[in-house]
Amino acid sequence: MKKYFFLFILCFTIFIIHLISIRHGIYGDGTAFYAYAQALFFDKGLNFGPIYNFLGHFQGVKGEFSRLFWDITVNPYPIGTGLTWIPSIAVISLFFQDRFSMVFEIGPGLTGIILVLGGMYFLEKYLQNFFSARVATLSVFIFFLTSNLFYYSSFEPALSHQPSFFIISFLLYKTYKFDKKFINYLLIGALSGFLFTVRVADILFLIPIYWQIYKTSPGIKNWVTLFISAFIFSLPIFWSYYVMAGNPFRISYFDRGLSTYSINVSSIVDFFFTPKRGLFTWTPVYFFAFLGLIKSKKYVFLISLTLLILFVSFWASISVEFGQRWIIGGVPFFAYGLASFIKKFNSRKVAILFSLLFIWNLLTIFHFYTDKTNMIKNDKLTFSEFFVGQFTSPVRALKVIKEKGFNYFFYKKVLY
């Protein structure tokens, strides 16, 4: 467990430095989830007035600005992540009275870090059913340090991807050698339903999990128990939309005017290869993991990932923020692919692959913060600009930090 403790210290340290530099610890979509958590805990319902007033007149490092970027008549984001954060906010409230204090934003970030590390633990245990302990551990930790999972566990750990990653990892582990007890069907159903309230599209990642259950030949009563449990634990999302919009079936996250549905091949190509957050371009470890999944003929993983990728590509081929974060819930499947890819590698080959991927990931993070104009908002970013920027950004980053400090370096004018 020491390795997880050291990763926790690393992630939490980066998160705190980032928070202090920017003066808040929750960004982008996380702001909407935070509004849920604040309203539910402090206002005992979905009265967003107080928290929206605070977020709409936020005192940042460059003066007052609004952290709200959606039509505030309805919070279009799913409620589940906000529910996940309530325990941390409740604990902090025992020691601090000002609900709008920056310290309350530590809770969701800390929760996200713990969920990712917890998910990694169960993922490692799951992979040990197929690979040696060495390969399983290497796969999980290489993937963590060389992919966008590292960024979303340290720089921005307060989002919906962290609980989704934990749920998928835990369910994979729990259902592989499935004990057909009544309580286990209730548990699997509950987490499946709750996943729907966290990230609606990520229920596509349940396909391999339900396939593992199916192979144990459960009876009709077992399936009924599972689906009733899933339905009950999915009710919060329907309740929230009913309260806000008068329609329990208004899953409005996909209807925010930020993206449009467009079925074309170029969107799929962009998902993988565009210099603006392409999955393989920004995080090439996914490419080797894909090769491993194909090599191992893990078709159920590939089907699940393909469906999610097609959905995302046709809805919004380029995700917001650092890399293709839509795919994080599927990292457990990719970790299996990476383990399959490296299982016959000797230590030297593993070290070389890890070093190259880790350096690329660090360069991308430096580039992301240094060249904000191109990396965040330039839809016409070329491959040559991207690759040149990768190798020049560290020097530029150190210069910016030295001359203007961390707060200027970390500040990004995006959906904040």
CA dist., res. 338 & res. 309, Å (int):
18
Coil, helix or strand for 157? coil
DSSP code string of 390-411: HHHHHHHHHHHHHHH-HHHHH-
The total number of structural domains that make up the chain: 1
Q: Which residues pair with 60 in a beta bridge?
A: 63
The pLDDT score that the predictor gives to residue 413 is 46
CA dist., res. 108 & res. 12, Å (int):
12
Cβ 353 vs Cβ 146: under 8 Å:
no
- For residue 7, how many other CB atoms are within 10 A of its CB? 20
* Residue 340 domain flag: yes
pLDDT in tens, 118-143: 999 999 999 999 999 999 999 999 99
b/e map 311-325, b = 16+ CB within 10 Å: ebbbbbbbbebbbbb
Strand segments (E) across 48-145? 58-60, 63-65
CA 192 to chain centre: 17
pLDDT in tens, 192-208: 999 999 999 999 999 99
Please, which residues have CB within 8 angstroms of residue 148's CB and are 6 or more apart in sequence? 282, 283, 322, 323, 324, 325, 328
Which among 270, 271, 285, 281 is positioned nearest to 389, based on CA atoms?
281
Coil, helix or strand for 130? coil
CA dist., res. 320 & res. 289, Å (int):
23
* Residue 7 domain flag: no
Coil, helix or strand for 266? helix
Q: Whole domain around residue 145: which residue ranges? A: 109-410
The pLDDT score that the predictor gives to residue 251 is 63
Is 102 exposed, middle or buried (CB count within 10 Å of its CB: 0-12, 13-18, 19+)? middle
* Residue 262 domain flag: yes
* Residue 129 domain flag: yes
Q: pLDDT tens string for the chain (416 positions)?
A: 789 999 999 999 999 988 988 888 898 889 999 999 999 999 999 999 999 999 888 877 777 788 888 777 788 899 999 999 999 999 999 999 999 999 999 999 999 999 999 999 999 999 999 999 999 999 999 999 999 999 999 999 999 999 999 999 999 999 998 888 899 999 999 999 999 999 999 999 999 999 999 998 888 999 999 999 999 999 999 999 899 888 887 766 655 555 555 667 777 888 888 888 889 999 999 999 999 999 999 999 999 999 999 888 776 555 667 888 889 999 999 999 999 999 989 999 999 999 999 999 999 998 888 876 666 666 677 888 888 888 888 888 888 777 777 667 776 544 33
* Residue 166 domain flag: yes
Q: Which residues pair with 58 in a beta bridge?
A: 65
CA dist., res. 273 & res. 280, Å (int):
6
* Residue 258 domain flag: yes
* Residue 220 domain flag: yes
Cβ 79 vs Cβ 237: under 8 Å:
yes
* Residue 237 domain flag: yes
Residue type, 89: I
CA dist., res. 276 & res. 267, Å (int):
12
The pLDDT score that the predictor gives to residue 414 is 43
- For residue 272, how many other CB atoms are within 10 A of its CB? 17
Q: To 5 degrees, how large is the angle CA 401–CA 405–CA 410? A: 80
Place of tokens 């371009």: 281
The pLDDT score that the predictor gives to residue 261 is 58
b/e map 54-64, b = 16+ CB within 10 Å: ebeebeeeeee
Which among 23, 29, 16, 107 is positioned nearest to 65, based on CA atoms?
23
DSSP code string of 365-390: HHHHHH-HIIIII-TT--HHHHHHHH
**CA separation, residue 167 to residues 153, 192, 350 (Å):** 15, 8, 29
CA dist., res. 214 & res. 226, Å (int):
12
Q: What is the value of pTM for the model shown?
A: 0.92
CA dist., res. 329 & res. 301, Å (int):
12
